[in-house]
Structure 1
Amino acid sequence: MKFASTDSYIATEDLTVAVNAAVILQRPLLVKGEPGTGKTELARQVAQSLGMPLLEWNVKSTTKAQQGLYEYDAVSRLRDSQLGDERVHDVKNYIRKGKLWQAFDAEERVVLLIDEIDKADIEFPNDLLQELDQMEFFVYETGEMVKARHRPIVIITSNNEKELPDAFLRRCFFHFIRFPEMETLRRIVEVHFPGIKDGLLTAALTQFYELREVPGLKKKPSTSEVLDWLKLLLAEDLGPKDLARDKVSLPRLHGALLKNEQDVHLFERLAFMARGQR
């Protein structure tokens, strides 16, 4: 089985090649790209396309690599020992399996998503090198070696907030999701809004790409934001004429596209300067 576009997810040719190459090489697929370009959704669609369960490990700034393997609850064991609980005699009662252990222990092959790995401490990727490479780890509290029954398909996403270590990068197959071109974005929109009028879609996407090209934007609007914007345009029953504007004025319902006050003020300044030049 190979990954390909689905009825609900448009994957470019280079993305499908990257996914299938990572599967063949049995290496984690490291996916980078602008926020909102579908990195997280990719893992869900790969699982759906290949008919595999999905396990999601959402990384935060406080996440430690050990949590992906297992956590030993020594405090609960101490409390139970003081209360005379019989559970205290089996240390396994106090071992909580992490997402990696769950993936290794699964009865069938799974897709494991490690989402936004760059949010964690810089040592986080290095601490997972052995486990992701050898697909095994040692549990010191029980003395057992946990080995993967089936090698999971590992998809790792990053928003480039931190540089990842070279040793980690060497073990991954890398793919950068470029922002979709107009034609690809049209196909993505038509998946979400089948039957959308061509005139409205053309006018909206033309304006959207013009917006992204404005110099000085702090955050360029992404795919998810243009979908939100189009949903509002359709709900308000707006047409191409309703979107008419000059390139420096704020678009209709701009709160779906511009997500900080600096970018709103940028357009206000550009409009003010344009009026002054008339």
Structure 2
Amino acid sequence: MKFEGTKDYVATGDLTMAVNAAVTLERPLLVKGEPGTGKTELARQVANSLGLRMIEWNVKSTTRAQQGLYEYDAVSRLRDSQLGDERVNDVSNYIRKGKLWQAFEADEKVVLLIDEVDKADIEFPNDLLQELDRMEFHVYETGATISARHRPIVIITSNNEKELPDAFLRRCFFHYIRFPEPETLRQIVAVHHPGIKESLLTTALTQFYELRETPGLKKKPSTSEVLDWLKLLLAEDLSPEDLKRDGANALPKLHGALLKNEQDVHLFERLAFMARRQGR
């Protein structure tokens, strides 16, 4: 069972090596990187490539680790008992299975994605240590122990918003997805926009990398944002000449696809203003 990338996802050699190493070690693969560099999509493509079903757990700031195991609905049971419902005699009627439970009880090997683990409380990763290590957990309400029938391939993503505990990191295989080099980005663009003209692509990517490297930029545009930008350029049928910037306007065409906050827009407006003053 080896991941080698797919026709819809350009995976670098070190990324495919990381996926396969995590599978071999039977450890969760912790993937970090800038937002928009394809961390979540990696899990989908690993599942597609290996012919496995994917179970996705999207973590939010309010998510608790227990929700990944199960939740006991005591309120519904109390209400049913007041109504004389016979369901109350079986506590399992009030237990909702979480994503880990679903992955553990699957009849076949699955890919379990725990997406954006760093959004939750700092204790969230620590609360999952035992379950991810032993691949089992105890249901206190029923006394049952749920063990994984087939050890899932666990992929955990993080946007680096907060540090993860050392004990959690120790149990993972780690990979950082770096922002793609120009040649790799060209391959990614070819997957999504196969008919783009070479001259337009060269001009657009040159401008894009210049924008990313602008000192003082608060949020650098990501891979997904450059793909959106190129889609707009193609929809508007713009030429390389249309993308040319001068001192009067430092903002790229359709910059709303690339710059996502007013501070960065103001930065380029100031650069244009300074260029005009120097040109006098």
Instruction: Compute the TM-score of the two structures, normalised by the length of structure 2.
Output: 0.98
1:50 maps to a residue whose letter is: L
One-letter amino acid of the counterpart of residue 182, structure 1: P
Which residue does the alignment assign to 1:131?
A: 131
What is the letter of the counterpart of residue 127 of structure 1? D
- Tell me, in whole angstroms, the C-alpha distance in 2 between the residues paired with 1:39 and 1:240: 31
After TM superposition, the structure 1 stretch with the greater mean CA deviation from structure 2, 243-252 or 213-222, is: 243-252
Could you give the per-residue CA deviations for residues 165-188 of structure 1, whole angstroms, max 9, x where no partner exists? 000000000000000000000000
**1:250-271 deviations in whole A, cap 9, x for unaligned?**
0000000000000000000011
- 1:168-247 alignment, distance < 5 Å: 168-246=168-246
1:211 CA displacement: 0.3
Q: Any idea what SS the aligned residue of 1:277 has?
A: helix
Shift of residue 5, structure 1, vs aligned partner:
1.8
Distance 2:67 2:192 in 1: 36
Identity of aligned residues (%): 84
Aligned equivalent of 1:146: 146
The answer on whether the counterparts of 2:31 and 2:177 sit within 8 Å (CA) in structure 1 is yes
* Partner SS state of residue 145, structure 1: strand
What is the Cα deviation at residue 195 of structure 1? 1.9
Alpha-carbon RMSD: 0.8
Query: Which portions of structure 1, spanning 4 or more consecutive aligned residues, are displaced by more than 2 angstroms?
Result: none
One-letter code of the match for 2:265? V
What is the deviation of 1:9?
0.5
2:40 alignment counterpart: 40
Distance in 1 between residues matched to 2:163 and 2:171, nearest whole Å:
15
Q: What SS does structure 2 have at the residue aligned with 1:55? A: strand
- Write the distance in 1 (CA, Å) between the matches of 2:104 and 2:182: 41
CA contact 2:5–2:46 (8 Å) conserved in 1: no
Matched, 1:158 2:154: no
For the Cα contact (< 8 Å) 2:18–2:173, is it kept in 1?
yes
Tell whether 2:272 aligns with 1:274: no
Work out the CA distance in 2 between the residues paired with 1:121 and 1:218.
Answer: 25
> Match of 2:94, as an amino acid?
Y
Q: For the residues of structure 2 that align with 1:269 and 1:239, how far apart are their CA atoms?
A: 26
CA deviation after TM superposition for structure 1 residue 246, in Å: 4.2
Instruction: After TM superposition, give the deviation of residue 4 of structure 1 in Å.
Output: 1.3
Determine the C-alpha separation between the residues in 1 that align with 2:252 and 2:162: 33
Query: Deviations along 1:44-99, whole A, 9 cap, x unmatched?
Result: 00000000000000000000000000000000000000000010000000000000
Match for residue 106 of structure 1?
106
- Give the counterpart letter for 2:268 in structure 1: F
Q: Secondary structure at the match of 2:6?
A: coil
- Match of residue 250 from structure 1: 251
| Alignment partner, residue 50 of structure 2 | 50
Aligned partners of 2:93 and 2:271: how far apart in 1? Answer: 63
* Distance in 1 between residues matched to 2:14 and 2:227, nearest whole Å: 23
CA distance in 2, matches of 1:6, 1:129: 31
TM-superposed CA distance for 1:189, in Å, is 0.4
Q: Give the letter for the 2:142 counterpart.
A: T
